[in-house]
Structure 1
């Protein structure tokens, strides 16, 4: 053991620091790193040791270290401890041009790196590891279906038969399977007037005509849904009732019942996308799948909670459609990668996925509070990993996004989500979960706020 790795006696004085104690510890840590009292490479006390000496809970120290790690100040190494990192600014993740990218709706990865190492180590010790490398069963294994059913129950409160759950290669694969199962080429597909962008290329692949349905502050309007179905002879709907991307709205219980009543009258099958549902504070609203399990195909994914590269999702199917969905999966993928599905099952059945969801909710809540402090006009759902900013007049969405990019920040204008021309609001989506460093996020949000406060420049959109 080197001198640097000996257990240090760092003990910050937080008695005069305002705010929550975990933030006081993180601020003291930053100050001591800046002053040189804690040099680069210094090993920090364990969570338990520092908690005991400060008279706080272990959870408080854990949150403080996590805050400092998000700020790029410290980093953990499995089996060795937590060390001070070089705090010099780095480029924004995924972009060597220095752009702060607030256009990607992801969540920071570092809290789950240790979970991934543990899960991989557990798999490596198994005697049947080679068994995971055979051609997979198209249904997935019983363990994988059980894990999917448990994840749906944990995030929605809906207890389901594992036999109705099909593991998929992520949420988009689940979308593809569900829509292909309930439509035919040339059909019309009803969607929210602002919808997840991937639905547009998928509709092109399946030769479907997208029909936008009007929304209000609580999502789909039942009357508009019925009118659109009648006008276009549509019998399929794709929607995101909880923490909608991009508007962040969640349908209330009465609205959900009204939407499903309309679907029953009009003979509409529904694909319910709940990939952000795990961020909601408890399964307090029944999913559409609970209101009409024979009509709704429910999909979820682990990409937002754990890591996108896992490429594992789950599709809950009505029994009459299960054979068709299995046939589609066999024809396109043969079966889901069993190694990824096994990792996903390990995360879920061990409780690691639910633990991660709890951390993710805390992360999003903190970042929403940060965004609301810096951008007072932000009215997005506090459980959402993105903001939906309606722009003040005379700003136009394209001009605002272009001006923001010129200042080093990338966001997504509403055009990406609009299904039809003519009713696109002047708004932008700002993603707050994917930037690892909180100081970079703060810089990006301050830039957004500063531009919002300025009068719009007269550009081509005004001619």
Structure 2
């Protein structure tokens, strides 16, 4: 029967037990249909109260990890593979709900799609966009993709090595499929973009979490080159997944020195780099990309989705020349091709200046909202910046981030704690990711962060959370 290690449980214990359960599902120790021990038995084994186990099982059920069967017990659920936390947090019924969890890129400021559709309707060649095309994209669209990567990523992109995808998420999946085999180990940040925690196991790839460097304030920096070196000596690591600019969730942008130290380890161990950069266009001062540092072993994934076109699902992937055919096949096998109509719209916005204009408008809004956040919370707790779509907030121990997440939801505010991003079963991190880019109205954003502050303060004073009345 399953039992977490008692000496690894932290306070509050019910959340620690639920998180240990989630980790054992992720790593395959528990699989669908496995029965959990009766609550009284587990309470006795761990030396905790029955109420603690009841709350832990309830939290596991909320996370859709388990199912209870009357008279039979509690079992690992069919849907127990790790999913994005954004599917686990329904809006609170009957109240105004504020979304500080999802990272939707200020979609309300995107270019006018209606105007572009009218323009396209008058083009005599528009019907050619309603036909099958090459899986990697048309030569013209690939050329514009290479221009986009060169202009907004400062990357040495070539059209011949640039392929069109259905967004960055699609690019990640085909990169992992094309470059690795089942059983390969992939190094990732200890705090990482949540879908990676489900995509890698689904493809039969092993996750090897690598610790980050931290500064004097406890702010997380780049993946530690020394920790990566050590991991390579212990595991047969084949690749490394990196978000060098505005890392999700910590917001850290790697310095040139950090990039070069990592590149040296990567080159020494002949690793493949998956360089995921959805936020790079927002960063004014560009650093060298890993594509520039390690051109023969880097797959660069870029997308204008967050800047101007999330609904059109268009992305670009720059690949080593010797694996281009494998990538084209992976695109063809997954979706045949990105929609030529969607890619044409995005291409016209890139070349017509709409992307640059929209980018500046969004930068201005992010700057305003970041300063609003700094006015609400102590600056030393915040890790982020004026050009970041989200902020990472460190909390003191008495204000447990998972409890803050739950308390905020009772007030109608959705926010994500560190738990959703951790690739390790246990961590000393106690933080929230706060999105600046989903709520459309500034007044609603200010209401949301005010309610979040109330939730944090309430945990510091041990008050009972009170739901909002709508």
Report the TM range for the smaller structure's normalisation.
0.7 to 0.9
Alpha-carbon spacing, 1:96–1:202, altered in 2? closer, same or farther (3 Å): farther
Alignment check: 8 A CA contact 2:192 2:421 kept: yes
**2:462 aligned with 1:457:** yes
Q: Is 2:436 the partner of 1:438? A: no
Partner of 1:165: 162
Task: Give the equivalent residue in structure 2 for 1:74.
Answer: none
- What is the match of residue 19 of structure 2? none
Distance 1:351 1:94 in 2: 40
Name the CA shift for 1:94/1:276 in 2 (closer, same or farther; >3 Å).
Answer: farther
Structure 1 unaligned residues grouped into runs of 5+: 1-91
Deviation at 1:456, TM superposition (A): 5.1
2:354, 2:412 → 1: CA distance? 36
Structure 1 position 448 matched with structure 2 position 445? no
Of 97, 106, 109, the match for 1:108: 106
1:120 aligns with 2:117: yes
Structure 2 CA distance for aligned equivalents of residues 143 and 93 of structure 1: 43
Aligned residues: 366
Question: What's the secondary structure of 2:383's corresponding residue?
Answer: coil
How far off its partner does 1:347 sit? 1.0
- 8 Å CA contact 1:243–1:381 kept in 2: the answer is no
User: Quick one: structure 1 residues 458 and 169, their matched pair in 2 at CA, closer, same or farther if it must change by over 3 Å?
Assistant: same
Residue of structure 1 in register with 2:425 after alignment: 421
Which residue is equivalent to 2:29?
Answer: none
Paired residues for 1:59-458 under 5 Å = 97-114=95-112, 116-216=113-213, 217-283=220-286, 285-377=287-379, 378-423=382-427, 425-454=429-458, 455=460, 457=462
Counterparts of 2:437 and 2:320, CA distance in 1: 34
Contact kept? 1:93, 1:436, Cα under 8 Å: no
Distance 1:261 1:346, change over 3 A: same
Tell me the distance in 2 between the aligned counterparts of 1:344 and 1:358: 17
CA drift at 1:94: 11
Measured after TM superposition, the shift of residue 177 of structure 1 is 1.1
Q: CA RMSD in A?
A: 1.9
Gaps of 5+ in 2: 1-89, 214-219, 465-470
The answer as to whether partners of 2:246 and 2:388 remain within 8 angstroms in 1 is: yes
Distance 2:91 2:431 in 1: 25
Deviation at 1:102, TM superposition (A): 0.6
Task: Give the drift of 1:256.
Answer: 0.2
**Alignment deviations for residues 320-362 of structure 1 (CA, whole Å, 9 cap, x no partner):** 1111111111111111111111111111111211221122211
CA distance in 2, matches of 1:231, 1:397: 32
d(CA) in 2 for partners of 1:117, 1:338: 17
Q: Hey, what's the Cα distance between the residues in 1 that align with 2:362 and 2:302?
A: 16
Deviations 1:218-253 (A, max 9, x none): 311001011112211111111101101100001100
Distance 1:411 1:203 in 2: 25
Give the TM-score normalised by the residue count of structure 2. Answer: 0.75
2:111 and 2:354 in contact (8 A); partners too: no
| 1:412-450 deviation per Cα after TM superposition (whole angstroms, max 9, x unaligned) | 111111112112511111101110011110011112223
Q: Is the 8 A contact 2:111 2:358 kept in 1?
A: no
3-state DSSP of counterpart to 1:452: helix
Cα separation, partners in 2 of 1:438 and 1:261, compared to 1, 3 Å: same
Per-residue CA deviations over 1:161-190 (Å, capped at 9, x if unaligned) read 111110100011000111112210111111
Question: 1:128 Cα shift?
Answer: 1.4
CA drift of 1:201 comes to: 1.6
TM-score by length of structure 1 reads 0.76
